[in-house]
């Protein structure tokens, strides 16, 4: 049985929601993405349930992305 993690580190949180690190950090700074929790003196993590709530609150797109959007295409 594989358990869902409670927290994700910086890179895992960005990957989880398909954002680049700079984009995610910019959203955190603007208060538009959940802020990390201080887990230990030198480590922070994003609470997965808060990321899930944020993701579910995103508006639906009214159009498809352009053909040149994204990586590795």
For 67-72, what is the mean pLDDT?
Answer: 66
For residue 50, with 0-12 CB atoms within 10 Å meaning exposed, 13-18 middle and 19 or more buried, which class applies?
A: middle
* The predicted structure's pLDDT at residue 65: 74
* The predicted structure's pLDDT at residue 73: 47
pLDDT tens readout for residues 9-63: 999 999 999 999 999 999 999 999 999 999 999 999 999 999 999 999 999 888 8
Judged against a pLDDT cut of 60, whether residue 72 lies above it is answered with: no
In angstroms, rounded to a whole number, what is the distance separating the alpha carbons of residues 6 and 65? Answer: 31
Q: Which helix (H) or strand (E) holds 52?
A: helix 48-56
Contact indicator for 45, 37 with CB cutoff of 8 Å: yes
* The predicted structure's pLDDT at residue 71: 60
* The predicted structure's pLDDT at residue 62: 85
């Amino acid at each position: 049985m594989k358990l869902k993690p409670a927290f994700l580190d910086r890179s895992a949180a960005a990957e989880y929601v398909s954002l680049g690190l700079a984009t995610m950090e910019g959203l955190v700074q603007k208060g538009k993405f959940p802020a990390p929790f201080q887990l230990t003196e030198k480590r922070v993590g994003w609470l997965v349930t808060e990321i899930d709530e944020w993701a579910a609150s995103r508006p639906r797109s009214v159009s498809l992305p352009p053909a040149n959007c994204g990586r590795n295409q």
